[in-house]
Amino acid sequence: MNENMFPLSRDELLQVYQTMRTIREFEERVHVEFSRGDIPGFVHLYAGEEASAAGIMTHLRQDDHIASTHRGHGHCIAKGVDVKGMMAEIFGKKSGVCGGKGGSMHIADLDKGMMGANGILGAGAPLACGAALAAKYRDNGDIAISFVGDGASNQGTFLESLNLASIWNLPVVFVVENNGYAESTSVDWAVACDSYVDRASGFGMPGVTVDGTDFFAVYEAAGEIIRRAREGGGPSLLECKMIRFFGHFEGDAQTYRASGEVDDIRANRDCLKSFSKTVTASGVLSQADLEACDTDVLSLIEDAVSTAKAAELPTEADLLTDVYVNY
């Protein structure tokens, strides 16, 4: 085997691959199951964006908190939320991580530091500030991550949170996952500044832009600003420029995209392919290593889907539980 040129060990690299591959397979499978009509409600898929979740979450501890977005499956998986419980939740089953009461847009697991996907764009930013405030108050070195898309980066909640985090010197990192589209609207049209680095500097914090399809670029940039936050250096903004394989939501005809755009990005800008190519070319991981991982992941997802389909639905008794006031 060649010498490891990467900042991560062989086992860690394999873990990263497994995380990214799990997200990819999870989302591709949810896409298929949704199109069959087996999944109720709204679903927003993270496929194509895996390098961001994996590159950031590899630096996190279980007690670090993340506040996610409506496109939250990838964040959940990378933060360690149980994949089978997630799939059951998306199918609306009682065995889901939220007992079938949350669904795709509200998957959360506070024991894993996952404060929830969120149906309200930008709403997670103040919540992440709160998690960071709790960590700062307890002086335990934990940090929080606020994920938003390029669309939610225009929400007042997000902009207010940047300012609040800065003046309170909170251990929080704001990650803008810029996939180029706010639903159907181009980021070039909807964001009134040339660079998120400029926006960060307007709030008195460092800003970094990285190629969000390059795991190693995300990993390196996130490592620096997360270290800074842990050491009391305050908040930062990280923009991951990335791509979305699917539409805004499942069922989106995507007529706003250029002809051939999706085929092109799948062929030429797939973060999983580029990661695989890099690690196998170096010889640290072999194609056989990755294929063994693929087999495990496919088996896990198949199991998750079949278990979810067979699982029981919540009953009438579940309707009135888990709420503070119940008339």
Partner 1 sequence: MARTISFKEAINEALDQEMTRDPSVIVMGEDSIGGTGSPGEDDAWGGPMGVTKGLYGKHGNQIMDTPLSESAYVGAAIGAAACGMRPVAELMFIDFMGVCFDQIYNQAAKFKYMFGGKAETPVVIRTMVGAGINAAAQHSQMLTAIFTHIPGLKVVCPSNPYDAKGLLIQSIRDNDPVIFCEHKSLYGVEGEVSEESYVIPFAEANVMRDGGDATIVAYGMMVGKAMDAAKTLAKEGVECDVIDLRTLSPIDMETVLESVENTGRLVVVDEANPRCSIATDVSAQVAQQAFKSLKAQIEMVTAPHTPVPFTTTLEDLYIPSAEQVADAVRKTFN
Contact positions vs partner 1 (CB under 8 A): 65, 67, 96-102, 106, 108-111, 115-116, 118-120, 123, 125-131, 133-135, 137, 144, 156-157, 160-161, 163-164, 167-168, 321-326
Phi/psi for 156 (5° steps) reads: -60, -35
Residue 149's beta-bridge partner residues?
177
Helix axes 287-310, 83-90, angle to 10 degrees: 40
**Which CB sits closer to partner 1, 20 or 81?**
81
Residue 211's beta-bridge partner residues?
241
Cβ 274 to partner 1 shortest distance, Å? 35
Question: Helix, strand, or coil here: 232?
Answer: coil
Residue 216 CA to residue 274 CA, distance in Å, equals 10
Cβ 162 to partner 1 shortest distance, Å? 9
Angle at 135 between CA 85 and CA 172, to 5 degrees: 80
Cβ 292 to partner 1 shortest distance, Å? 34
**Which CB sits closer to partner 1, 69 or 209?**
69
Cβ 90 to partner 1 shortest distance, Å? 13
**Which CB sits closer to partner 1, 263 or 316?**
316
**Which CB sits closer to partner 1, 120 or 267?**
120
Question: Helix, strand, or coil here: 65?
Answer: strand
Residue 123's alpha-carbon distances to 70, 271, 273, in angstroms, are 10, 28, 33
**Which CB sits closer to partner 1, 167 or 310?**
167
**Which CB sits closer to partner 1, 253 or 325?**
325
User: Going along the chain, which residue ranges are E strands?
Assistant: 65-67, 144-149, 172-178, 181-182, 185-186, 207-211, 236-241
Return the closest-CA partner of residue 48 out of 71, 69, 70.
Answer: 71
**Which CB sits closer to partner 1, 128 or 242?**
128
Cβ 167 to partner 1 shortest distance, Å? 6
Cβ 100 to partner 1 shortest distance, Å? 8
Structure tokens at 162: 């940047």
Cβ 84 to partner 1 shortest distance, Å? 15
| DSSP annotation of 114 | B
Residue 127 CA to residue 108 CA, distance in Å, equals 13
Structure tokens at 117: 């996907």
